[in-house]
Chains A and B, each alone.
Chain A
């Protein structure tokens, strides 16, 4: 059983040593191991290949594999930093590390900026913000007229685009978030502090493996 488990881990594409991942993230080794339990659960929900496919990510987020959502797509794309269409274990842990309560605020601010920079131009453009507000309205019960949406976007831009060039750069974004810290509230997941309680079984598996 132990040998099988050990071989199985080595064969998983993208599997990385928990001690290395722990050294590069706010997680401890046992927390990384617990995250592997969560990763296994998500990555085997549709295709059991040790990788999180977009449908599996959607299923984990929404309990519905077909539910498309602009923001979930953006999160998936940022987690998939190799840009190969799947999330590997190392990518999963490093990306979730940004959401750890102890992760540097600067990392959270930058991550949120990249999230909202839909077209990877290095700026949040007005059209992107407009598109994101429409996407949010689509998924919620909030009904606002086009005029009101335009006003909301204009007002936000007039507050955030301090240079007045019609786009928000990273410096403007940092300044805007410092005045509105609630904007990165969703970049912190309190669950990540209790991950070993939520997903403890890997630790037990490791002990079996070590004694083999």
Chain B
């Protein structure tokens, strides 16, 4: 996808701050 057709929410959902799986890593 070209940047202009990116969905802004799709983009921000990639934030590391939203990736809670790292809470479970030992």
Residues of B1-26 at the interface with A, using a CB-CB cut-off of 8 Å, are: 3-24, 26
B21 to chain A: closest CB distance in Å?
6
Taking a contact as CB atoms under 8 Å apart, the answer to whether A133 and B10 are in contact is no
Closest to B22 in A: A61
Count residues of chain A with CB under 8 A from any CB of chain B.
44
The answer, yes or no, to whether A191 is at the interface (CB within 8 Å) is yes
Bound Cα distance from A25 to B21, whole angstroms: 19
Residues of B within 8 A of A72 (CB): 16-18
Taking a contact as CB atoms under 8 Å apart, the answer to whether B6 and A189 are in contact is no
Residues of B within 8 A of A136 (CB): 11-12, 14-15
Taking a contact as CB atoms under 8 Å apart, the answer to whether A186 and B13 are in contact is yes
Which of the 9-residue segments A10-18, A150-158, A201-209 touches chain B?
A150-158
Which has the most chain A C-beta neighbours within 10 Å: B3, B10, B13, B26?
B13
Taking a contact as CB atoms under 8 Å apart, the answer to whether A69 and B17 are in contact is yes
Residues of A102-139 at the interface with B, using a CB-CB cut-off of 8 Å, are: 115-116, 129, 132-133, 135-136, 139
* A contact face: mostly helix, strand, loop, or mixed: helix
Bound Cα distance from A136 to B17, whole angstroms: 9
B2 to chain A: closest CB distance in Å?
9
Q: A62-B22, A155-B7, A186-B18 are in contact. List 4 more A-B contacts (CB 8 A).
A: A75-B18, A139-B15, A152-B8, A155-B4
Q: Jot down 24 A-B pairs with beta carbons below 8 A, ordered by A.
A: A38-B24, A61-B17, A70-B15, A71-B12, A71-B15, A71-B16, A71-B17, A72-B16, A115-B18, A116-B9, A129-B8, A133-B8, A133-B12, A136-B14, A139-B16, A151-B4, A152-B3, A160-B9, A176-B9, A182-B13, A183-B10, A186-B19, A191-B21, A195-B24
- B: residues with CB less than 8 A from A are 3-24, 26
Task: Kindly list the 9 A-B residue pairs having the minimum CB-CB distance in the complex, ordered from nearest.
Answer: A71-B17, A72-B17, A69-B17, A156-B8, A71-B15, A191-B24, A132-B12, A151-B4, A136-B12
